[in-house]
Amino acid sequence: MADTKDPKASAPRPQKPIPNAMKFTLGGLAGMCATCFVQPFDVIKTRMQVSSSSGGQKDSSLQVASSIFKDQGIPGLYKGLSAGLLRQATYSTARLGMYSYLNGLYSAHVAPKPTVLASMGMGVIAGSIGAFVGTPAEVALIRMQADGRLPPAERRNYKNVFNALIRIVKEENVMALYRGCIPTTARGAVVNMTQLASYSQFKLLFNSLGLKEGIPLHISASMMSGFLTTLASMPLDMAKTRIQNMKNNEYSGTLDVLMKVAKQEGVLSLWKGMLPYFFRLGPHTVLTFVFLEQFTQFYSVHILGNDSKGSGI
Protein backbone atom coordinates (compact mmCIF):
# COMPACT_ATOMS: atom_id res chain seq x y z
CA MET A 1 0.00 0.00 0.00
CA ALA A 2 1.33 3.40 -0.93
CA ASP A 3 2.56 5.62 1.89
CA THR A 4 -0.03 8.36 2.24
CA LYS A 5 1.92 10.30 4.89
CA ASP A 6 2.31 13.94 3.92
CA PRO A 7 6.05 14.69 3.69
CA LYS A 8 5.33 18.28 4.71
CA ALA A 9 3.87 17.09 8.01
CA SER A 10 7.27 15.89 9.28
CA ALA A 11 9.21 18.88 8.00
CA PRO A 12 10.41 21.21 10.74
CA ARG A 13 8.42 24.39 11.02
CA PRO A 14 10.37 27.54 10.06
CA GLN A 15 11.55 29.43 13.12
CA LYS A 16 10.61 33.09 13.36
CA PRO A 17 13.61 35.36 14.02
CA ILE A 18 13.58 37.66 17.02
CA PRO A 19 13.24 41.30 15.89
CA ASN A 20 16.43 43.34 16.26
CA ALA A 21 14.69 45.89 18.49
CA MET A 22 13.69 43.10 20.86
CA LYS A 23 17.29 41.83 21.02
CA PHE A 24 18.33 45.25 22.36
CA THR A 25 15.40 45.35 24.79
CA LEU A 26 16.10 41.88 26.19
CA GLY A 27 19.80 42.71 26.60
CA GLY A 28 19.05 45.83 28.66
CA LEU A 29 16.44 44.04 30.76
CA ALA A 30 18.86 41.20 31.53
CA GLY A 31 21.56 43.65 32.65
CA MET A 32 19.15 45.58 34.86
CA CYS A 33 17.91 42.41 36.58
CA ALA A 34 21.49 41.29 37.27
CA THR A 35 22.43 44.71 38.69
CA CYS A 36 19.73 44.47 41.36
CA PHE A 37 21.57 41.45 42.81
CA VAL A 38 25.18 42.69 42.67
CA GLN A 39 24.93 46.42 43.44
CA PRO A 40 26.49 46.11 46.96
CA PHE A 41 29.68 44.58 45.51
CA ASP A 42 29.93 47.40 42.98
CA VAL A 43 29.65 49.99 45.77
CA ILE A 44 32.41 48.30 47.78
CA LYS A 45 34.65 48.01 44.71
CA THR A 46 34.22 51.70 43.86
CA ARG A 47 34.96 52.84 47.43
CA MET A 48 38.17 50.81 47.43
CA GLN A 49 39.30 52.14 44.07
CA VAL A 50 38.82 55.83 44.84
CA SER A 51 40.72 55.62 48.14
CA SER A 52 44.45 56.19 47.96
CA SER A 53 46.51 53.88 50.13
CA SER A 54 49.97 55.39 49.63
CA GLY A 55 51.84 55.03 52.89
CA GLY A 56 48.80 53.72 54.70
CA GLN A 57 47.05 50.51 55.51
CA LYS A 58 44.76 49.08 52.86
CA ASP A 59 41.24 48.30 53.95
CA SER A 60 39.89 44.90 52.99
CA SER A 61 36.59 44.34 51.23
CA LEU A 62 35.03 43.27 54.53
CA GLN A 63 36.30 46.38 56.33
CA VAL A 64 34.91 48.65 53.64
CA ALA A 65 31.57 46.83 53.69
CA SER A 66 31.43 47.07 57.50
CA SER A 67 32.23 50.79 57.39
CA ILE A 68 29.48 51.47 54.84
CA PHE A 69 26.97 49.42 56.81
CA LYS A 70 27.91 51.13 60.09
CA ASP A 71 27.61 54.65 58.66
CA GLN A 72 24.66 54.25 56.30
CA GLY A 73 23.07 50.89 56.90
CA ILE A 74 21.85 48.59 54.14
CA PRO A 75 20.76 51.53 51.92
CA GLY A 76 24.42 52.56 51.77
CA LEU A 77 25.28 49.29 50.05
CA TYR A 78 22.72 50.13 47.37
CA LYS A 79 23.94 53.69 46.87
CA GLY A 80 23.63 54.68 43.23
CA LEU A 81 21.23 51.87 42.33
CA SER A 82 19.16 54.20 40.15
CA ALA A 83 22.32 55.14 38.24
CA GLY A 84 23.29 51.48 37.99
CA LEU A 85 19.91 50.61 36.49
CA LEU A 86 20.10 53.51 34.03
CA ARG A 87 23.61 52.43 33.11
CA GLN A 88 22.39 48.94 32.30
CA ALA A 89 19.39 50.35 30.43
CA THR A 90 21.85 52.17 28.16
CA TYR A 91 25.10 50.18 28.29
CA SER A 92 23.76 46.62 28.31
CA THR A 93 20.94 47.44 25.92
CA ALA A 94 23.48 48.67 23.40
CA ARG A 95 26.25 46.09 23.90
CA LEU A 96 24.17 42.91 24.20
CA GLY A 97 21.73 44.01 21.53
CA MET A 98 24.54 44.90 19.14
CA TYR A 99 26.40 41.65 19.84
CA SER A 100 23.27 39.58 19.22
CA TYR A 101 22.62 41.56 16.05
CA LEU A 102 26.19 41.08 14.77
CA ASN A 103 26.04 37.39 15.68
CA GLY A 104 22.89 37.05 13.61
CA LEU A 105 24.52 38.74 10.64
CA TYR A 106 27.57 36.50 10.93
CA SER A 107 25.47 33.32 11.13
CA ALA A 108 23.37 34.38 8.15
CA HIS A 109 26.12 35.55 5.81
CA VAL A 110 29.44 33.99 6.91
CA ALA A 111 29.16 30.76 8.93
CA PRO A 112 26.73 29.12 11.40
CA LYS A 113 29.17 29.49 14.31
CA PRO A 114 31.60 32.41 14.81
CA THR A 115 35.33 31.84 15.16
CA VAL A 116 37.22 33.09 18.21
CA LEU A 117 38.56 36.12 16.31
CA ALA A 118 35.11 36.91 14.93
CA SER A 119 33.60 36.74 18.42
CA MET A 120 36.35 39.00 19.77
CA GLY A 121 35.83 41.51 16.97
CA MET A 122 32.08 41.62 17.53
CA GLY A 123 32.70 42.00 21.27
CA VAL A 124 34.99 45.00 20.74
CA ILE A 125 32.46 46.74 18.48
CA ALA A 126 29.51 46.02 20.77
CA GLY A 127 31.42 46.94 23.93
CA SER A 128 32.75 50.22 22.55
CA ILE A 129 29.31 51.35 21.41
CA GLY A 130 27.69 50.31 24.67
CA ALA A 131 30.34 52.01 26.81
CA PHE A 132 30.04 55.30 24.93
CA VAL A 133 26.25 55.31 25.21
CA GLY A 134 26.41 54.44 28.92
CA THR A 135 29.14 56.91 29.98
CA PRO A 136 26.83 59.62 31.43
CA ALA A 137 25.08 57.10 33.67
CA GLU A 138 28.49 55.64 34.57
CA VAL A 139 29.77 59.05 35.72
CA ALA A 140 26.68 59.55 37.89
CA LEU A 141 27.01 56.02 39.28
CA ILE A 142 30.66 56.43 40.31
CA ARG A 143 30.01 59.77 42.00
CA MET A 144 26.98 58.54 43.89
CA GLN A 145 28.78 55.44 45.11
CA ALA A 146 31.92 57.34 46.17
CA ASP A 147 30.06 60.20 47.87
CA GLY A 148 29.87 58.49 51.25
CA ARG A 149 33.64 58.48 51.74
CA LEU A 150 33.94 62.26 51.35
CA PRO A 151 33.71 64.68 54.32
CA PRO A 152 30.09 65.82 54.80
CA ALA A 153 30.89 69.34 53.57
CA GLU A 154 32.33 68.02 50.29
CA ARG A 155 29.64 65.50 49.44
CA ARG A 156 27.60 66.08 46.29
CA ASN A 157 24.46 64.51 47.80
CA TYR A 158 22.74 63.68 44.53
CA LYS A 159 19.13 62.62 45.17
CA ASN A 160 18.96 60.17 42.27
CA VAL A 161 20.55 59.56 38.88
CA PHE A 162 18.44 62.17 37.10
CA ASN A 163 19.25 64.78 39.73
CA ALA A 164 22.92 63.85 39.31
CA LEU A 165 22.84 64.25 35.52
CA ILE A 166 21.04 67.61 35.71
CA ARG A 167 23.39 68.99 38.37
CA ILE A 168 26.51 67.80 36.57
CA VAL A 169 25.43 69.70 33.44
CA LYS A 170 24.33 72.77 35.44
CA GLU A 171 27.28 72.96 37.84
CA GLU A 172 29.98 71.86 35.39
CA ASN A 173 29.10 71.37 31.71
CA VAL A 174 27.68 68.84 29.28
CA MET A 175 31.12 67.43 28.54
CA ALA A 176 31.49 66.49 32.21
CA LEU A 177 28.96 63.73 31.51
CA TYR A 178 31.59 62.17 29.25
CA ARG A 179 34.51 62.54 31.64
CA GLY A 180 36.50 59.34 31.45
CA CYS A 181 34.86 58.41 28.16
CA ILE A 182 38.13 57.12 26.69
CA PRO A 183 39.01 54.70 29.53
CA THR A 184 35.33 53.76 29.83
CA THR A 185 35.20 52.89 26.14
CA ALA A 186 38.55 51.08 26.34
CA ARG A 187 37.31 49.10 29.33
CA GLY A 188 34.07 48.36 27.52
CA ALA A 189 35.98 47.05 24.52
CA VAL A 190 38.22 44.83 26.69
CA VAL A 191 35.37 43.61 28.90
CA ASN A 192 33.12 42.70 26.01
CA MET A 193 35.90 41.28 23.84
CA THR A 194 36.73 38.96 26.74
CA GLN A 195 33.27 38.43 28.19
CA LEU A 196 31.11 37.99 25.11
CA ALA A 197 33.69 36.19 22.99
CA SER A 198 34.72 33.79 25.77
CA TYR A 199 31.08 33.11 26.68
CA SER A 200 30.29 32.15 23.09
CA GLN A 201 33.38 29.97 22.83
CA PHE A 202 32.93 28.32 26.24
CA LYS A 203 29.37 27.46 25.25
CA LEU A 204 30.63 25.78 22.11
CA LEU A 205 33.32 23.95 24.10
CA PHE A 206 31.00 22.68 26.85
CA ASN A 207 28.38 21.80 24.25
CA SER A 208 30.93 19.68 22.39
CA LEU A 209 31.71 17.93 25.68
CA GLY A 210 28.09 16.86 26.03
CA LEU A 211 26.52 19.71 28.02
CA LYS A 212 23.24 20.46 26.29
CA GLU A 213 21.55 23.83 25.85
CA GLY A 214 20.08 24.96 29.16
CA ILE A 215 20.80 26.72 32.45
CA PRO A 216 23.73 24.42 33.48
CA LEU A 217 25.48 25.24 30.19
CA HIS A 218 24.77 28.97 30.55
CA ILE A 219 26.08 29.07 34.15
CA SER A 220 29.23 27.05 33.35
CA ALA A 221 30.16 29.21 30.35
CA SER A 222 29.39 32.50 32.10
CA MET A 223 31.40 31.62 35.23
CA MET A 224 34.51 30.99 33.16
CA SER A 225 33.83 34.13 31.17
CA GLY A 226 33.43 36.24 34.32
CA PHE A 227 36.79 35.12 35.75
CA LEU A 228 38.72 35.91 32.57
CA THR A 229 36.97 39.26 32.22
CA THR A 230 37.86 40.27 35.78
CA LEU A 231 41.57 39.70 35.25
CA ALA A 232 41.67 41.50 31.91
CA SER A 233 39.61 44.57 32.73
CA MET A 234 40.50 45.43 36.33
CA PRO A 235 43.31 47.99 35.65
CA LEU A 236 41.18 49.85 33.12
CA ASP A 237 38.26 49.84 35.53
CA MET A 238 40.55 51.35 38.17
CA ALA A 239 41.61 54.13 35.76
CA LYS A 240 38.03 54.82 34.72
CA THR A 241 36.86 55.08 38.33
CA ARG A 242 39.67 57.44 39.40
CA ILE A 243 39.13 59.77 36.42
CA GLN A 244 35.35 59.95 36.79
CA ASN A 245 35.55 60.68 40.51
CA MET A 246 38.39 63.25 40.45
CA LYS A 247 37.68 66.88 41.37
CA ASN A 248 40.96 68.69 40.74
CA ASN A 249 42.21 67.20 37.47
CA GLU A 250 44.59 64.89 39.29
CA TYR A 251 45.07 62.73 36.21
CA SER A 252 45.59 63.61 32.56
CA GLY A 253 44.36 60.31 31.18
CA THR A 254 44.23 56.55 31.47
CA LEU A 255 47.98 55.96 31.15
CA ASP A 256 48.67 58.67 33.72
CA VAL A 257 46.38 56.95 36.23
CA LEU A 258 47.97 53.54 35.66
CA MET A 259 51.52 54.91 35.99
CA LYS A 260 50.82 57.01 39.10
CA VAL A 261 48.93 54.26 40.89
CA ALA A 262 51.63 51.70 40.09
CA LYS A 263 54.40 54.07 41.23
CA GLN A 264 52.78 55.49 44.36
CA GLU A 265 50.68 52.56 45.56
CA GLY A 266 52.30 49.53 43.96
CA VAL A 267 51.55 47.55 40.80
CA LEU A 268 49.12 45.26 42.61
CA SER A 269 47.00 48.32 43.46
CA LEU A 270 45.89 48.26 39.83
CA TRP A 271 43.82 45.30 40.92
CA LYS A 272 42.62 47.00 44.13
CA GLY A 273 39.07 45.92 44.86
CA MET A 274 39.48 42.81 42.74
CA LEU A 275 37.58 40.57 45.18
CA PRO A 276 34.41 42.71 45.24
CA TYR A 277 34.93 43.41 41.53
CA PHE A 278 34.95 39.69 40.82
CA PHE A 279 32.00 39.11 43.15
CA ARG A 280 30.25 41.88 41.26
CA LEU A 281 31.37 41.09 37.69
CA GLY A 282 31.35 37.30 38.06
CA PRO A 283 27.77 36.95 39.33
CA HIS A 284 26.70 39.85 37.11
CA THR A 285 28.10 38.00 34.10
CA VAL A 286 26.37 34.78 35.15
CA LEU A 287 23.06 36.45 35.94
CA THR A 288 23.10 38.64 32.83
CA PHE A 289 23.65 35.73 30.48
CA VAL A 290 21.20 33.45 32.32
CA PHE A 291 18.53 36.17 32.29
CA LEU A 292 19.25 36.95 28.65
CA GLU A 293 19.03 33.30 27.61
CA GLN A 294 15.80 32.77 29.57
CA PHE A 295 14.18 35.97 28.30
CA THR A 296 15.17 35.08 24.75
CA GLN A 297 13.81 31.55 25.04
CA PHE A 298 10.57 32.78 26.60
CA TYR A 299 10.06 35.33 23.83
CA SER A 300 10.95 32.81 21.11
CA VAL A 301 8.63 30.07 22.40
CA HIS A 302 5.71 31.94 23.96
CA ILE A 303 5.58 35.13 21.89
CA LEU A 304 6.81 34.02 18.46
CA GLY A 305 5.50 30.47 18.82
CA ASN A 306 8.73 28.77 17.81
CA ASP A 307 9.22 25.07 18.60
CA SER A 308 12.93 25.32 19.41
CA LYS A 309 14.10 27.27 22.44
CA GLY A 310 17.27 28.38 20.70
CA SER A 311 19.94 30.50 22.32
CA GLY A 312 20.29 34.13 23.32
CA ILE A 313 23.91 34.43 22.20
How do residues 173-209 score in pLDDT, each as one tens digit? 999 999 889 888 988 898 889 988 888 889 989 989 9
Please name each of the domains of the chain with its CATH number: 16-47+61-303 (1.50.40.10)
The per-residue pLDDT for range 113-164, each reduced to its tens digit, is: 888 899 899 999 999 999 999 999 999 988 888 887 778 888 888 989 999 9
Enumerate residues 6+ apart whose C-beta is below 8 A from 263.
none
User: What gap in Å lies between CA 257 and CA 259, rounded to an integer?
Assistant: 6
Whether residue 57 is predicted with pLDDT greater than 70 in this model: the reply is no
User: Which of 25-29, 99-103, 245-249, 262-266 shows the lowest per-residue confidence on average (mean pLDDT)?
Assistant: 245-249
How many angstroms separate the Cα of 253 from the Cα of each of 116, 153, 198, 263? 31, 28, 29, 16
Burial of 244 (0-12, 13-18, 19+ CB in 10 A): buried
User: What gap in Å lies between CA 277 and CA 240, rounded to an integer?
Assistant: 14
Helices (H), 246-273: 254-265
